[in-house]
Structures are given as structure tokens and as C-alpha cells.
């Protein structure tokens, strides 16, 4: 066979026409969402006040294996997809490893990350339903940017609650969102009851994704014909992100290869869930057995040190309860630069797959080791990676170095979810040796676990 090219591109016609719903092949479903009002399993209708109807239906659908991607969404995808599958020849050479390293690069669109894949779908369904404004939260700013772009395209006004510490670290992210026409409010803010309550308890807090979600949902519920959209965690988001894995698999088939190891960073689980989706299908249907690794920051270790329990998806405790790996919705992580990985919980689908042993491993890594990997990758692959994505890079490098020791030529695939051009403050700290690694103590974590909700008969 001829040498695998540095970049494997699919053609526009080869963009998948359907998303893949992993739940249709799961042996067991994740536990149902619980409506906090009734403490009974939530139905799609219970979500209509917050989410668009089509998205609420997707959230609950565990039967439909393939979902048609609407024409309007496909047309938007064509602006920036297919994204390339890259062979990291230069990194392999620098590591002197027999491993073959591939990454799916989702940062080569104008928003700079994979978040656009779900943003455009969610805004499309909102527009179709006649919704007149949207609201959301953003951590690192990548989701807010992607959603601002999609809202500008479909002409829907957007309010973004941006985690305060991120808005201070990344003023340019805020400027991009505003340029696309979004209104950006640092969270917690005094514009909502949830924000005011959080500020009253902890006036100097830098905020968290959980707080920002509470504010955004309250805004949606209290504003006429407004809905809330979320960039991760939810089943519907994993469904839209399956485009990443489907394209990857199609590109790998072209070069007649298949991954031994698949690695992704895990914040709320959307890129990882999307990347692994068709490979997990192979595992669930016993066609192949790739090894899956989720990577999270040591400062916010939901899979590695969290509890598998019912919890609220937000700090203000207004969302449905989901059974997931969680540090407790009141847990506020230290100001780690990987803003997109500072979420207390994890996708219920990924949590279930991890709990049942299909998701093979989770690893927590300290920030400085992440930036060591980011700097090495930037140097040899000429892309400045987002700190979030660099978690996957770190573990891909570690696995490739293991191959060097054992002499195995494993095929390693990881998700390069975005670029880090707005994370320069973090890179400056790293370059000046001023970066610190905060790892929460067991006592810190216990405070979060103590606040887990009790559900009569289910979780006492």
C-alpha cells in the first residue's frame, strides 16, 4: 500500500448524511432523568419549557439508530467539514516511536472547535420551531463562540452567560461573541436569582459551568419564547457530535486502518462521545475491541474520583437530575486553564459506558504535564492546541512512549478538538514557569459529595 498521506480528506459528498445514536446499540440504557419537581422519571414533555421540542425528543430517543441530518445543517457543515484526519508523522519521529498516531482535527473552522457541530443543529431546530431567542452558558468560550456563529447565521438573538474567571482570562473570546451579535454576561451575575444566590454565598467566586447553566436556564424560562441550549453532557449533543467519529471511521477505511486505542479529553463528554461513537458500536456489537481512554484534568476529576450518582446538571439545582459521574453540583474547581473541562459531572451515556466497563479507562492529568504535551505537539505538528485538547495529546504521547518501550506499532487515534489561540495567558504562564497544579484533597471532594441530592427510594 502507498504511504498514508499527512492529511486524509473526505470529499464534500462523503460527509455522513445521518448522525449515529449510540444508545440504540447500548446493552443497557443510562438511568432515566428525574424531574426534580415530581421526583419521577422525566418525559420529553417535561423538558419542553427549557429545550426545543425536537431536541427534547432526541434527548429521550434510545431507539432510532440513525437520524437524518437536516439539509440546512448539512449545508452549514459544508462550510467547514469534512475535517481532516491527520497522521502525526512529525510527532512520531520526535518521540521515536513505532506507534502510528492519528488525530481528527476539529479546530480548523472559524469557531476553533468541535462545538460548532452541535451548535448549528440546535439553532436550526430552534429556528424551525419559531423560537425567537436563545440562551446558554460558556466555560472556555468555545461553545459560546460556536453558538454565536450559528445564531448569527440563522438570525436568532443570543445571550451567553460566561464563567467569570474565563471572561477575565479570555476577553477576546467575549469580543468574538459580541462581534457575532451575542450579549455576553459574566457569571455569576446579578441578573438572575440563581446568580444572586450564588454571589450571596460566595461573593468572590470565579464561577463555574454549573452556575452559568443555572443562570442561562432561569433566563430562558423567564423570557417569552426563549429556549436554553447546552454544548455538552446531553444525549442530543453526543448525537450531533457523532459526525466526528463517523467521518474518522470513513477516512480510516480509506487508508485501510483501524485504531487500537482511541483517546479524547472529557469535559462534559461531547467530543469523546462523538469520536468514539462508531468505534463503540463495533465494541458493543463485538466486531472490534478498541481501547478507549477518557482524559480529564486532575483539578476536576469527575470520572476518576467522582461518584456514580444522581445529581443536578447545574449549581442552582433547577435542571433534571441525571445519573452520572459527578463531583457534586456544588463543587467549584480551581481556576484551571482548561475552562472547558471544569464541569462537575459527565455525560450520562459516557458515565454508563464507563460504569459498565465499555469505556475502558479514565486518566486524570496535572496541568503542567498537559502543557508539556501541548508545547511538544505545537512544535512538531505546527498547530497550537487548546488546553482541553492537549489532555488527549498528553495521553496519546504517553501511549506512544509505551509503544517505544515495548516495540509495538499500535495505531493511536485522538481527538484534537480545538486550537488554543485564545489561551495565550495560559501559555504565557507555562512559558514563564508560573503554572501551578492544584489537585483537590479528599476533604474538598467530600464537600461536593455531601451536597448530592437525596431521592426517596432511589438515592438516600
Residues lying near ligand PLP in the complex (CB under 6 A): 113, 139-140, 142-143, 232, 265-272, 340-341, 386, 388-389, 417-418
Q: Please, which residue, 269 or 306, has the CB nearer to ligand PLP?
A: 269
- Least separation, in Å, of the C-beta of 256 and ligand PLP? 28
- Least separation, in Å, of the C-beta of 325 and ligand PLP? 13
Q: Please, which residue, 260 or 388, has the CB nearer to ligand PLP?
A: 388
Sign of torsion, CA 24 303 115 193? positive
Q: Strands of 411-416's sheet, edge to edge? A: 7-8, 85-87, 100-105, 411-416, 261-265, 291-297, 361-365
Q: Tell me if residue 323 falls in helix, strand or coil.
A: strand
- Least separation, in Å, of the C-beta of 303 and ligand PLP? 11
Q: Please, which residue, 113 or 315, has the CB nearer to ligand PLP?
A: 113
Crossing angle of the two packed helices 424-431 and 367-381, in degrees rounded to 10: 100
What is the distance between the alpha carbons of residues 448 and 309, in angstroms, rounded to a whole number?
A: 12
Contacts of 356 (CB under 8 A, 6+ apart): 27, 28
- Least separation, in Å, of the C-beta of 200 and ligand PLP? 28
- Least separation, in Å, of the C-beta of 373 and ligand PLP? 14
- Least separation, in Å, of the C-beta of 341 and ligand PLP? 6
What is the distance between the alpha carbons of residues 23 and 102, in angstroms, rounded to a whole number?
A: 26
Q: Please, which residue, 188 or 415, has the CB nearer to ligand PLP?
A: 415
Q: Please, which residue, 100 or 228, has the CB nearer to ligand PLP?
A: 228
Widest distance between CA atoms in the chain: 65
- Least separation, in Å, of the C-beta of 329 and ligand PLP? 17
- Least separation, in Å, of the C-beta of 332 and ligand PLP? 17
Q: Please, which residue, 232 or 235, has the CB nearer to ligand PLP?
A: 232
- Least separation, in Å, of the C-beta of 104 and ligand PLP? 12
- Least separation, in Å, of the C-beta of 190 and ligand PLP? 25
The beta strands (E) that lie in 282-438 are given as: 291-297, 307-312, 321-326, 361-365, 411-416
Q: Please, which residue, 135 or 145, has the CB nearer to ligand PLP?
A: 145
- Torsions phi, psi for 383 (to 5 deg): -125, 130
* CA distances for 396 relative to 93, 295, 297, 415, angstroms: 14, 10, 15, 10
DSSP-assigned beta bridge partners for residue 133: 226
Q: How far apart are the first and last CA of the chain?
A: 59
Contacts of 312 (CB under 8 A, 6+ apart): 36, 210, 318, 319, 321, 329, 453
Q: Please, which residue, 189 or 271, has the CB nearer to ligand PLP?
A: 271
What residue has cell string 483539578?
299
| Angle (nearest 5°) at CA 318 between 128 and 190 | 90
Q: Please, which residue, 140 or 365, has the CB nearer to ligand PLP?
A: 140
- Least separation, in Å, of the C-beta of 11 and ligand PLP? 26
What is the distance between the alpha carbons of residues 292 and 280, in angstroms, rounded to a whole number?
A: 9
Q: Please, which residue, 424 or 458, has the CB nearer to ligand PLP?
A: 424
Contacts of 95 (CB under 8 A, 6+ apart): 397, 400, 401, 404
What residue has cell string 501541548?
374
Q: Please, which residue, 249 or 391, has the CB nearer to ligand PLP?
A: 391
What residue has cell string 436556564?
217
**Taking CB positions, which residue lies at the least distance from ligand PLP?**
340
Q: Tell me if residue 54 falls in helix, strand or coil.
A: helix
Amino acid at each position: 500500500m502507498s504511504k498514508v498521506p499527512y492529511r486524509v480528506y473526505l470529499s464534500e459528498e462523503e460527509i455522513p448524511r445521518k448522525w449515529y445514536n449510540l444508545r440504540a446499540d447500548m446493552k443497557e440504557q443510562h438511568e432515566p432523568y428525574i424531574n426534580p419537581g415530581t421526583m419521577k422519571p422525566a418525559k420529553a414533555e417535561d423538558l419542553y419549557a427549557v429545550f426545543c421540542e425536537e431536541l427534547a425528543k432526541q434527548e429521550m430517543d434510545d431507539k432510532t439508530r440513525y437520524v437524518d441530518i437536516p439539509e440546512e445543517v448539512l449545508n452549514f457543515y459544508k462550510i467547514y467539514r469534512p475535517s481532516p484526519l491527520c497522521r502525526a508523522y512529525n510527532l512520531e519521529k520526535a518521540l521515536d516511536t513505532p506507534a502510528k498516531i492519528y488525530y481528527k482535527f476539529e479546530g480548523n473552522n472559524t469557531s476553533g472547535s468541535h462545538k460548532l457541530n452541535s451548535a448549528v443543529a440546535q439553532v436550526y431546530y430552534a429556528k424551525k420551531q419559531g423560537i425567537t431567542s436563545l440562551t446558554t452558558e460558556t466555560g472556555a468560550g468555545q461553545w459560546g463562540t460556536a453558538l454565536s456563529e450559528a445564531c448569527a447565521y440563522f438570525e436568532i438573538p443570543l445571550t451567553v452567560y460566561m464563567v467569570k474567571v474565563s471572561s477575565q482570562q479570555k476577553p477576546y473570546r467575549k469580543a468574538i461573541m459580541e462581534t457575532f451579535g451575542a450579549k455576553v454576561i459574566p457569571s455569576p451575575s446579578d441578573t438572575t436569582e440563581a446568580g444572586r444566590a450564588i454571589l450571596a454565598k460566595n461573593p468572590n467566586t470565579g464561577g463555574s459551568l454549573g452556575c452559568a447553566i443555572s443562570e442561562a436556564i432561569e433566563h430562558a424560562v423567564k423570557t417569552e419564547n426563549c429556549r436554553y441550549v447546552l454544548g455538552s453532557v446531553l444525549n442530543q449533543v453526543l448525537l450531533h457530535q457523532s459526525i466526528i467519529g463517523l467521518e474518522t471511521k470513513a477516512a480510516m477505511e480509506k487508508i485501510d486502518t483501524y485504531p487500537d486505542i482511541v483517546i479524547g479529553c472529557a469535559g462534559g463528554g461531547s467530543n469523546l462521545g462523538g469520536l468514539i461513537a462508531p468505534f463503540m458500536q463495533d465494541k458493543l456489537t463485538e466486531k472490534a475491541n478498541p481501547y478507549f481512554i477518557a482524559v480529564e484534568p486532575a483539578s476536576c476529576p469527575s470520572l476518576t474520583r467522582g461518584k456514580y450518582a444522581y445529581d443536578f446538571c447545574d449549581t442552582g439545582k433547577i435542571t433534571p437530575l441525571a445519573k452520572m459521574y459527578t463531583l457534586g453540583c456544588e463543587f467549584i474547581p480551581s481556576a484551571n486553564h482548561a475552562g472547558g473541562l471544569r464541569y462537575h459531572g459527565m455525560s450520562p451515556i459516557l458515565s454508563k459506558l464507563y460504569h459498565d466497563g465499555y469505556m475502558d479507562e479514565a486518566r486524570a492529568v496535572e496541568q503542567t504535564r498537559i502543557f508539556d504535551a501541548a508545547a511538544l505537539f505545537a512544535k512538531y505538528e505546527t498547530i497550537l492546541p487548546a488546553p482541553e485538547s492537549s489532555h488527549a495529546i498528553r495521553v496519546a504521547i504517553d501511549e506512544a512512549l509505551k509503544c517505544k518501550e515495548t516495540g509495538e506499532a499500535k495505531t493511536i487515534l485522538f481527538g484534537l478538538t480545538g486550537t488554543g489561540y485564545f489561551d495565550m495567558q495560559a501559555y504565557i504562564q507555562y512559558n514563564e514557569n508560573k503554572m501551578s497544579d492544584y489537585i483537590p484533597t479528599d476533604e474538598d471532594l467530600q464537600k461536593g459529595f455531601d451536597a448530592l441530592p437525596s431521592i426517596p427510594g432511589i438515592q438516600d
